[in-house]
Amino acid sequence: MCRVLSYLGYPVLVEDLLYKPDNSFIKQTYHPIYMPHLLNLAGFGLVAWNNESPNTGLPFIYRTDQLPFYDENLRNLTQKIEPYCLLSHIRGVAYSDKKVVSKQNVHPFMFPNTNIALAHNGALHQFDNMKYELLNFINKENQKYIRGTTDSEWLYAVFLSQFQLLSGKDEIANLTTALIETFKIIKKIRYHYNIRVNSPMNLFISNGKFIAATRFVFDYGWRAIHEGLEELAHYNYHSLWYTYGEKYILENDEYKMKEGDKRSSIIIASEPLTEDTTSWIEVPEYTLLIATLESDEIRIISYDIDI
């Protein structure tokens, strides 16, 4: 299981998200509360938007295939960066010599021809059987930017191609339409190859102005006849949580969202950053959650994914 963390709202020091909470994002790599039997040892990535930096539409990007808890450069950077929007990913793969650990496979993915980034928590069963048929749904421009071996990058290319086809609507409407169309494409190809095994698709998407996150799984509960380490990523529990409030703060030695007149900040993550989850809301299965920041207030839209 991979782990994903996203943030939108009042500028926050990245260290306060990645390192300092009692169930911090980095701590989840080696001492997770959820799925404690599977560690995340295949790389770390981060995109972050800051209004005070040059080219504000262009995010700061940091990716490494090294272990983040040994990364002194990452720790130093997080003590200096205060973005208003962030998308971060820790990659987890089955313990197998068949898996490729490389920088090209580190999320979030962001092609040079777009300002939209995507991270994925999940795995598509029998992806190698599906991927070349996916080329029918990826435009030529995006095909040339695929560098790695993950199902996630191909999913990103499919989604981005569907998004770029749309025009005449607002960005959030296009985003929703493209995501649903991506799920329909995957469902169609899985049907063609008679794939009926549990395959989670928790996607996180952002361009600095919104965060979209899905909690979705194809064929929930269906398991392969011959199971092994390769199947772990398909069967394990993939959750999605969020918390929002006026500002993310440290209060009484505990990180939390401060309540106030306005709810100006939101965290959406694969698991809570604190052991106390009373201020966190778990997103139900088959849900698309979209958060935008409008007039310094978070607006949340929720859709049922019914394909």
Q: Where does residue 33 rank: exposed (0-12), middle (13-18), buried (19+ CB within 10 A)? A: middle
Q: Using pLDDT thresholds of 50, 70 and 90, give the confidence band for residue 132.
A: very high
Mean predicted confidence (pLDDT) in 146-173:
93
Mean pLDDT, the chain, rounded, equals 88
CB 13 within 8 A of CB 81: yes
Lowest mean pLDDT among 19-23, 92-96, 146-150, 251-255: 92-96
Task: List, in order of start, the domains of the chain with CATH numbers.
Answer: 3-304 (3.60.20.10)
Q: Higher-confidence residue: 237 or 267?
A: 267
The DSSP code sequence of 277-295 is -TT-EEPPSSEEEEEEEET
Residues in the chain: 307
CB 43 within 8 A of CB 66: yes
CB 200 within 8 A of CB 219: no
Mean predicted confidence (pLDDT) in 165-176:
91
pLDDT in tens, 293-306: 998 999 999 999 99
Mean predicted confidence (pLDDT) in 100-123:
87
Mean predicted confidence (pLDDT) in 210-226:
80
Best CA proximity match to 211, nearest among 39, 33, 21, 47: 47
At 268 the pLDDT is: 98
29/41 Cα distance (integer angstroms): 7
Q: Using pLDDT thresholds of 50, 70 and 90, give the confidence band for residue 229.
A: very low
At 197 the pLDDT is: 87
Mean predicted confidence (pLDDT) in 213-218:
96
Residue 99: pLDDT above 80?
A: no
The pair of structure tokens assigned to 245 is 């409030």
At 214 the pLDDT is: 97
At 261 the pLDDT is: 83
Angle between helices 171-192 and 127-134 (to 10 degrees): 120
Q: State whether residue 218 is helix, strand or coil.
A: strand
pLDDT in tens, 37-82: 566 666 899 999 998 888 888 899 999 988 888 899 999 999 999 9
